[in-house]
Structure 1
Amino acid sequence: MTTATAEIEIRDPATDEVVGRVRPAGPEQVDDAVGRAVAAGRDWARTAPGDRAGLVKAAAVAVRAVAEELARLNETETGRPFDDGLGGVLAAAGTLEQYAELGPLHRGRSLQGNWSATDLMVPGPRGVVAVLTPWNDPVAVAAGLIGAALVTGNTVVHKPSERCPHLGRRFADLLASYLPDGVLTVVDGAGPTGALLAGHAGVDVVAHVGSIAAGRAIAEAAAGTGAKVLLENGGNDPLIVDDGVDPVWAAGQVALGSYANGGQVCVSVERVYCHAAVAEEFLAALAEEATRWVYRPSGEGEKALGPLVDRRQREHVHSHVTEALRDGAVAHVGGAVPDGAGAFYPATVLSGCTPQMRILREETFGPVAAVRVVESFEQALTEAIDDPHGLAATVLTPDMAHAQEAWRALPVGTVKVNAAFGGAPGGAAQPRGLSGAGFGYGPELLDEMTATKVVHVEPCPTRDAR
């Protein structure tokens, strides 16, 4: 069992080589970090919003300048292919710039009251925000939560994932170098350190992106301190392939949704419901598409499939696959652990999946397209809805009536119609069920990071008026 002070070893998931070690923060280090954040909070909250935004914007420029360095570090610690990681870093810089623009515009409301009185609803910083971020898109996720917290006048203690601590610290230290002392601090550690932060009496907001188990523990800890909690706990996202779609195009969408970043994206496609009328062609096309996702692409049309983050994650993914095969599923491509170093796992296509299988009931978080053939769109929608998670869903259909019914009925934060990924900048959504609560992105995140105070002001009567 990992303790708060046991040294953490980080290995390159492509080679198994040790690339670093960190000593997790214990109670004293967490107390110190929170104490520094509390001490810095008064002056930072009183800093003009435009000045706060200017510092965050300068930090964003610095992130762009070292984007390739951060992407290489991401590849070394998590296995994410360099080009994908670089895109994440550049997205992080864009997010910081976005919040630098939005922060000074975040405003309250005036209320209509008596002629001689003034009534206001004014947002203000909540205080100290503990930001606990994952390994699968570590820079982009951290930029959003940290950026929104900073521009609204909060101070931040950041704990990056223990699977990429050097990357997390490099990014946070870079941002902190543009800020007053104590406004942004970083602590290393795994679950025990996160628990110390989540339950700390000096923390006012806990923002977490990660597993359901960790999210539950954080919510319980925060209930004891009164801290506000923002959670994105992952999902079990369905994708529906309706009758009438081009099966080859649909296979490309499913492959992208299932295999990008090794299937280790919060909104990866986890379960596929395919209409029987197109199933045969779709499965053939999907199997062919899966063969294009390879570890070191060199041929035309091939795409990069990096290793999973570590061997423990690979064991988790393979256990889902082997159980499904044992219970009657068929592997069209993949499904076997490769020989050699690293935590590689092949792009896999399974058919014959049933609702009782873990591969459809739980988040696999690996490069697996688990397909269930259904007889109708109605059956696909019913089974897609029947799940306790509520992060995202995708519908591929030429029928706009089906699209309309699906996006209204699916109990998730995000529904994508005819695209596995995509969305306008600034979009935000609220996960539901086991997937969490609260806005984690977009302008609405500024509301989450602030508390609204109602102010009523009226003139004091003079002595002569008594």
Structure 2
Amino acid sequence: MKTLQNLIDGIWEDSLGDTLLDVVNPATENAVARAPGGCRDDVDRAVAAAVQAQPAWAALLLAERVAWISAWADVVAEHADELAELECREMGKPVGIGRTFIDGAVAGLKASAGQALSYGFEETVAHDDGGSTRILRHPLGATAVITPWNFPVTMVLGALGPLLAAGNTVVVKPSEKSPLSAVRLFELLNLPPGVVNLVLGDARAGGPLAEHEQIQLVHFTGSVEAGRKVGAGTGERLHRAVLELGGKDPVVVDAGVDPRATAAAVAFGAFINTGQICTSMERIYVHEEVADAFVEALVEAAGTYTMGDGHDEGVMMGPLVDERQRDIVRRHVADAVERGATIRAGGVEPAGRGFFYPATVLTGVDESMLVMNEETFGPLAPVVVVPSFAAGIERASRSRFGLAATVYTDDPDHMAAAARIPAGVVWINQWQGGGPERLYEPAGDSGMGATGAVAAYDAATRPSSVHIAARLAS
């Protein structure tokens, strides 16, 4: 069985730690590789390589850095099928769905790197007295990207563009549950040695990386609990952190919408990737005028999300990533049923191997239940019937999380009212809508630090001002 290695200063090498972890295919429960558990020495070596490579990388012309990144993106695009297959093997995502997200991530990498060409790295402001101020934005230095298991390729590519284009170097630490695709992604790397380094492992690598004194920014995506630790570590050193953490994203379905078309859209947002997306639709508030038709259509749509090994043709949902994640889903369903909810679809695990759980629709839920308060990260669609659109917005806004929200309405006034939901992103009539110009900052326990478009470059750079007087004062 293959043992995975770290990439440090352009060289693949064994971990200096003494622990190996099994990488398990969640559809078969069989180990498919071994990865190092990680250690501080691995991190120190990777950070040292990033620090050493950073001045030369930053000294390149901006257009040269963008060209390097774009060329790498083209290579990744040529291997998208292979990367999607590896994601399926390590975390269960159906290959076709994985390929779609990877294609989007490659396009996003090129777009975000290209935004550097119009970003204000240097601006001059003239003053009335004849003097001027130059505003310069400098790269931070060595940075870290720590990614979750649910989108191993997409999350890495999504973070790297602005960091690299701005002149920073990076140490990447993927989740220990899904390192296969990350390793292959960096086998395809064609950037200068040390510009991007890869360290594998669990918290034994992630903790030292997030707290490293030479890492100037940590871009972390993961759980609230882990995010708090990362924030504490960076705060202790007065270094930056961009944290995208958990979500409990609401959906508000207004009267007057097509209930069947809306139910199909909500099913996709709730069940795609087996509900293992930070912006999955996890709380659904439906206007009473369309509730019956909507629920009927949602139950019907849930039945079309066939489970199975993501390599097989026609499979819509792969397994959950592991038994721990499936146990969370079980617990949320059991708690809801004990408190009076009704299972309208799914809710029964299939026999056999693999961490599968069916697309499940719950009605009769309320905010006393775990499924309406804690992040599920599984294929559950809990539905609450509300008497009005205003009531839906009000209840959607009751959460300690604030990552994203989706609203379906044909009423322009209601579209305007949707902006009141305290979330980083509000989508109206299209989940995951928008383009590369989007920027946002999560609210509440969903994280901190603005990202996307110009905000990503603001986070990746340090501004300074140089004032030039018109003449020496007498």
* TM-score normalised by structure 1 residue count: 0.93
How many Å separate the matches in 2 of 1:332 and 1:293?
15
The answer to whether structure 1 residue 121 and structure 2 residue 132 are counterparts is: no
| 1:294 partner SS | coil
Contact residue 402 and residue 442 of structure 2 kept, 8 A: yes
**One-letter amino acid of the counterpart of residue 28, structure 1:** D
Distance change >3 Å, CA 174–CA 458, structure 1 → 2: farther
The answer to whether structure 1 residue 304 and structure 2 residue 320 are counterparts is: no
The answer to whether structure 1 residue 454 and structure 2 residue 468 are counterparts is: no
Instruction: Select between 84-93 and 154-163 the one with higher mean Cα deviation.
Output: 84-93
Match of 1:170 among 177, 184, 194: 184
How many Å separate the matches in 1 of 2:212 and 2:308?
45
| Map of 1:402 onto structure 2 | 414
| Map of 1:51 onto structure 2 | 64
**One-letter amino acid of the counterpart of residue 32, structure 1:** R
Deviation at 1:261, TM superposition (A): 0.9
Instruction: Select between 423-432 and 390-399 the one with higher mean Cα deviation.
Output: 423-432
Deviation at 1:116, TM superposition (A): 4.9
How many Å separate the matches in 1 of 2:299 and 2:286?
14
Contact residue 121 and residue 455 of structure 1 kept, 8 A: yes
User: Pairwise mapping of residues 202-281 of structure 1 onto structure 2 (< 5 A)?
Assistant: 202-281=214-293
Instruction: Select between 111-120 and 267-276 the one with higher mean Cα deviation.
Output: 111-120
How many Å separate the matches in 2 of 1:101 and 1:379?
42
Unaligned runs of 5+ in 1: none
| Map of 2:82 onto structure 1 | 69
The answer to whether structure 1 residue 441 and structure 2 residue 441 are counterparts is: no
| Map of 1:31 onto structure 2 | 44
Contact residue 13 and residue 78 of structure 1 kept, 8 A: yes
| 2:87 partner SS | helix
Match of 1:87 among 89, 100, 120: 100
The answer to whether structure 1 residue 155 and structure 2 residue 169 are counterparts is: yes
**One-letter amino acid of the counterpart of residue 111, structure 1:** V
Distance change >3 Å, CA 139–CA 442, structure 1 → 2: farther
| 2:297 partner SS | helix
- CA RMSD after TM alignment: 2.0
Deviation at 1:459, TM superposition (A): 7.3
| Map of 2:7 onto structure 1 | none
Distance change >3 Å, CA 155–CA 369, structure 1 → 2: same
Percent of pairs with identical residues? 38
Deviations 1:304-328 (A, max 9, x none): 1111111211111111111111111
**One-letter amino acid of the counterpart of residue 100, structure 1:** A
| 2:176 partner SS | coil
The answer to whether structure 1 residue 417 and structure 2 residue 431 are counterparts is: no
| 2:218 partner SS | strand
How many Å separate the matches in 2 of 1:5 and 1:359?
39
| 2:335 partner SS | helix
| Map of 1:60 onto structure 2 | 73
Deviation at 1:42, TM superposition (A): 1.4
**One-letter amino acid of the counterpart of residue 243, structure 2:** L
Instruction: Select between 239-248 and 166-175 the one with higher mean Cα deviation.
Output: 166-175
**One-letter amino acid of the counterpart of residue 423, structure 2:** V
Match of 1:324 among 336, 359, 367: 336
| Map of 1:201 onto structure 2 | 213
How many Å separate the matches in 2 of 1:458 and 1:262?
61
How many Å separate the matches in 2 of 1:198 and 1:375?
46
**One-letter amino acid of the counterpart of residue 370, structure 2:** R
How many corresponding residue pairs?
455
Deviations 1:198-239 (A, max 9, x none): 111010000011111111110001111111000100211000
The answer to whether structure 1 residue 145 and structure 2 residue 159 are counterparts is: yes
How many Å separate the matches in 2 of 1:228 and 1:425?
23
Contact residue 20 and residue 35 of structure 2 kept, 8 A: yes
Distance change >3 Å, CA 174–CA 443, structure 1 → 2: farther
Contact residue 27 and residue 308 of structure 2 kept, 8 A: no
Instruction: Select between 152-161 and 18-27 the one with higher mean Cα deviation.
Output: 18-27
Unaligned runs of 5+ in 2: 1-16
Contact residue 10 and residue 21 of structure 1 kept, 8 A: yes
Contact residue 436 and residue 452 of structure 2 kept, 8 A: no
Contact residue 391 and residue 414 of structure 1 kept, 8 A: yes
